[in-house]
């Protein structure tokens, strides 16, 4: 377990703060292949979450990170990027 991995709890918190959408982290994890759109997130909301993570970790995420369709896809990309940069 690497220390820089973003968890479902953190993602749920970012979604709440960034896009005003309340989602239970366990539910997010269980249904991790549910598209963000169905959760009520729009593209600007995703962009805000990416920006927040970049500021938090002091690194750039790949150009199309905000286009990830599902939580699973998103966390895989974010965490593999953070791991590669660590």
In the complex with other proteins, which residue's Cβ is closer, 3 or 58?
A: 58
Q: Take residue 41 and report the two structure tokens written for it.
A: 């997130």
Nearest approach, Cβ of 29 to other proteins (angstroms)?
A: 21
Which own/partner pairs from 68-71 qualify as long-range (CB within 8 Å, at least 24 positions apart)? Answer: 68/36, 69/35, 69/36, 69/37, 70/32, 70/33, 70/34, 70/35, 70/36, 71/8, 71/11, 71/28, 71/29, 71/32, 71/33, 71/34, 71/36
SS3 3: coil
Candidate residues 7, 22, 37, 38; the one interacting with other proteins per rule CB under 8 A: 22
Binding flag, residue 29, other proteins (CB under 8 A) = no
In the complex with other proteins, which residue's Cβ is closer, 1 or 64?
A: 64
Binding flag, residue 21, other proteins (CB under 8 A) = yes
Candidate residues 55, 63, 64, 84; the one interacting with other proteins per rule CB under 8 A: 55
Binding site for other proteins (CB under 8 A): 18-22, 40, 44-45, 47-48, 51, 54-55
């Amino acid at each position: 377990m690497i220390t820089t991995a973003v968890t479902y709890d953190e993602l749920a918190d970012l979604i709440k703060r960034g896009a005003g959408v309340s989602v239970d982290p366990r539910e997010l994890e269980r249904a991790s292949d549910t598209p963000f759109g169905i959760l009520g997130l729009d593209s600007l909301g995703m962009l805000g979450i990416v920006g927040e993570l970049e500021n938090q970790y002091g690194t750039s995420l790949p150009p199309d990170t905000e286009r990830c369709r599902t939580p699973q896809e998103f966390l895989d990309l974010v965490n593999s990027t953070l791991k590669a940069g660590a």
